Structure 1
Amino acid sequence: MSTTTITTGAPSRPVRAARAVVRHGYAPAMLLGVNGTAVALTAAGVTDGLGKLWLLALLAVAVAASFAAERLLPYEPGWNRSLDDGGRDTAHTLVNETLILVSVAAIPVLAATVSVADLWPHSWPLWAQVLLAVLAADAGITLVHYASHKIGVLWRFHAVHHSVKRFYGLNGLMKHPLHQTAEMTAGVTPLLLVGLPVQVASVLALAVAVQLLLQHSNADYRVGPLRHVLALNEGHRFHHLKWAGIGDVNFGLFTLIWDHALRTYSYDPARRFTSDDLGMAAKPHYPVRYLAQLAEPFRASGACSSAEDHR
């Protein structure tokens, strides 16, 4: 009598444990762990003599965690394979993060130039000041994002971000630098007017990058009912649906509060996404190279002739 060994391919116990950690612990680790470390180091004065190098170090940790989580527990395994877009997305990340760092370094000069009155609550704990900055910036950035789907000239630049055909962490940092500048200006200017401190601005800059990594992550993590409040990947995938009007939902960067107010919130727990759902139906052959994407908004082909062409 012969014996046949059947290989099920089931993951080992350590792998299952690691996936469980990613599913339920990845988002808290990024939101509270990475951002919390930034707050703690800043409050303790550790970052005072390091310039902005500490921001880069924590961002590198966040990017590494993002890639690790996507490989341990991918939502769509195929999205972990490069579509010859890795170099392009790295270029977007480096350029856009450099712009953010330069902006943070310029905060004292900018604040002195545009500040109306120093109304900032300096006596609050640093974590509360950062939370206030996050909520205020979320409003400005979300509203510019919303307008970018309605106004042709803004859409020209925002379309770069919607040209992606796979959903993974670095997608969040894949933006035309002029559009990123518009969003950040809308998010930070009101804060500068009331005396935003550079320490709070530094932590806010990191929080934005961490949020973009989480929001576009290919990791199949869960946050339970908070998915209706926090602007994370479960909801943001709906924003990247390629059809006209269908993807004009879930505009929030940090929260979905404004989407509920604007009635642009959308979520369907039964919906599964593939690369066929992503991109822009009206522009399936959008340029894929970095320099071509920077130039496209200035070309005739980058125009939107109608509202339907926005997606």
Structure 2
Amino acid sequence: MRYLYAPAFFFGFIGLALYLVGEGVSLLCLPALLPLTILLAFLAERFWPYRAGWNESHGDGARDLAHALANETLNALGIAAIPLMALWMPHFALWPVDWPLALQLLAALLIADLGVTLVHYASHRSALLWRLHAVHHSVTRMYGFNGLMKHPLHQTLEALGGTLPLLLLGVPVEVAALLAFAIAIQLLLQHSNVDMRIGVLRHVFAWAPLHRLHHLKYGTAGDVNFALFFSFWDRLLGTALYLPDYELAEDDLGIGDRPDYPVAYLDQLREPFRQHDTAHPPAVLPPELRRALVE
């Protein structure tokens, strides 16, 4: 199951979504599927945890639920607004509407993923963007639900980076809805606490064994594996990292020089706009991780 989990979860749910939409079922079926995906993700984390301690609440459950509800609402509003935006926003009607729905979704995934990846990459280079993005990096454990733990302003910037090219091309609302559903599935896999084995699929998909390294709290050690869907973008950026022999400790995650980062939802919304006069020393890189990075 550790080898089958990620591909079965990804292709199973996205394949089901493609089938339902292709058969003319209402797009409302997609958000209706999300509770099932979350339930199965949580069950898998209980049966095959990567770190047992990450299954225990760090006082973050209600906060993560608030982030998820706010950000998924933004996603839903964005999808609902596509027909309205098409009326006033210039677009070039270049979208290949005659392609099979699965190929249209694949094209949308590639285009959106490149845009999101570049915004993500810039968010680790720009101090202003980092202040917004730091909300997501403040997590001290990884489990499926905290993939949506993002400041809504940063969520909006990433969404614009990923969807603006699609809107200019004239993407249909059905493809946009499938894309949003696929993103939710991918976030569950990226931040999963399942001890999954992905083997050679790591060369294509940016699932948890790669993305956990992005959340390392040790300075710039986590400036790797920026891609949302496809790990080959990181190879092109020179930011790909895979450490098969390093087992993350339960306290390896977070922002090493901000151990005081606020935990509560409203405090996290305000945090990017606060000024801090005190600095904390960066977290010390563990010897085992230092050796793994050198090797």
TM-score (norm 1): 0.87
Is residue 51–residue 250 contact of structure 2 (8 Å, CA) maintained in 1? no
TM-aligned CA deviation for residue 268 of structure 1: 1.1
Counterpart position of 2:289:
none
Q: Distance in 2 between matches of 1:252 and 1:112?
A: 32
- The residue type paired with residue 246 of structure 2 is R
TM-aligned CA deviation for residue 178 of structure 1: 0.6
- The residue type paired with residue 42 of structure 1 is V
Is residue 115–residue 194 contact of structure 1 (8 Å, CA) maintained in 2? no
- SS of alignment partner, residue 218 of structure 2: coil
Is residue 157–residue 178 contact of structure 1 (8 Å, CA) maintained in 2? yes
- The residue type paired with residue 264 of structure 2 is R
TM-aligned CA deviation for residue 112 of structure 1: 2.9
TM-aligned CA deviation for residue 222 of structure 1: 1.6
Structure 2 unaligned spans of 5+: 284-295
Counterpart position of 1:79:
54
Q: Which moved more, 1:24-33 or 1:180-189?
A: 24-33
- The residue type paired with residue 256 of structure 1 is S
- SS of alignment partner, residue 300 of structure 1: coil
**Percentage identity across paired residues of the two chains:** 54
User: Kindly tell me: are residues 112 and 236 of structure 1, through their superposed partners in 2, closer, same or farther at Cα, counting changes over 3 Å?
Assistant: same
1:109 lines up with 2:84 in the alignment: yes
For residue 290 of structure 1, the aligned residue among 258, 265, 268 is 265
Counterpart position of 1:199:
174
1:226 lines up with 2:201 in the alignment: yes
The alignment of Structure 1 onto Structure 2 pairs a total of residues equal to 281
Q: Distance in 2 between matches of 1:30 and 1:134?
A: 17
How far does the alpha carbon of each residue in 1:91-143 deviate from its partner, in whole angstroms, 9 at most, with x for none?
11111101100100011112333233100000000000000000000000000
1:37 lines up with 2:16 in the alignment: yes
For residue 127 of structure 2, the aligned residue among 145, 152, 167 is 152
Is residue 156–residue 304 contact of structure 1 (8 Å, CA) maintained in 2? no
Q: Distance in 1 between matches of 2:243 and 2:173?
A: 40
Q: Distance in 1 between matches of 2:111 and 2:261?
A: 33
Counterpart position of 2:184:
209
Select the structure of larger CA radius of gyration: 1
- The residue type paired with residue 96 of structure 1 is N
Q: Distance in 1 between matches of 2:274 and 2:101?
A: 45
Counterpart position of 2:7:
28
Is residue 111–residue 196 contact of structure 1 (8 Å, CA) maintained in 2? no
Q: Distance in 2 between matches of 1:239 and 1:213?
A: 15
Counterpart position of 1:141:
116
For residue 120 of structure 1, the aligned residue among 95, 106, 114 is 95
Is residue 242–residue 281 contact of structure 1 (8 Å, CA) maintained in 2? yes
1:239 lines up with 2:238 in the alignment: no
1:94 lines up with 2:64 in the alignment: no
For residue 56 of structure 1, the aligned residue among 22, 26, 31 is 31
Q: Distance in 2 between matches of 1:275 and 1:75?
A: 10
Counterpart position of 1:10:
none
Q: Distance in 2 between matches of 1:247 and 1:176?
A: 19
Is residue 68–residue 149 contact of structure 2 (8 Å, CA) maintained in 1? yes
Counterpart position of 1:8:
none
- The residue type paired with residue 119 of structure 1 is L
TM-aligned CA deviation for residue 176 of structure 1: 0.5
Q: Distance in 1 between matches of 2:278 and 2:72?
A: 28
TM-aligned CA deviation for residue 59 of structure 1: 1.1
Q: Distance in 2 between matches of 1:31 and 1:304?
A: 43
Q: Distance in 1 between matches of 2:85 and 2:4?
A: 38
Structure 1 unaligned spans of 5+: 1-20
Counterpart position of 2:159:
184
TM-aligned CA deviation for residue 274 of structure 1: 1.8
1:261 lines up with 2:251 in the alignment: no
Is residue 167–residue 217 contact of structure 1 (8 Å, CA) maintained in 2? yes
- The residue type paired with residue 222 of structure 1 is R
TM-aligned CA deviation for residue 304 of structure 1: 11
User: Kindly tell me: are residues 276 and 224 of structure 1, through their superposed partners in 2, closer, same or farther at Cα, counting changes over 3 Å?
Assistant: same
- The residue type paired with residue 117 of structure 2 is T
Counterpart position of 1:276:
251
How far does the alpha carbon of each residue in 1:198-229 deviate from its partner, in whole angstroms, 9 at most, with x for none?
00000000000110010000001122111132
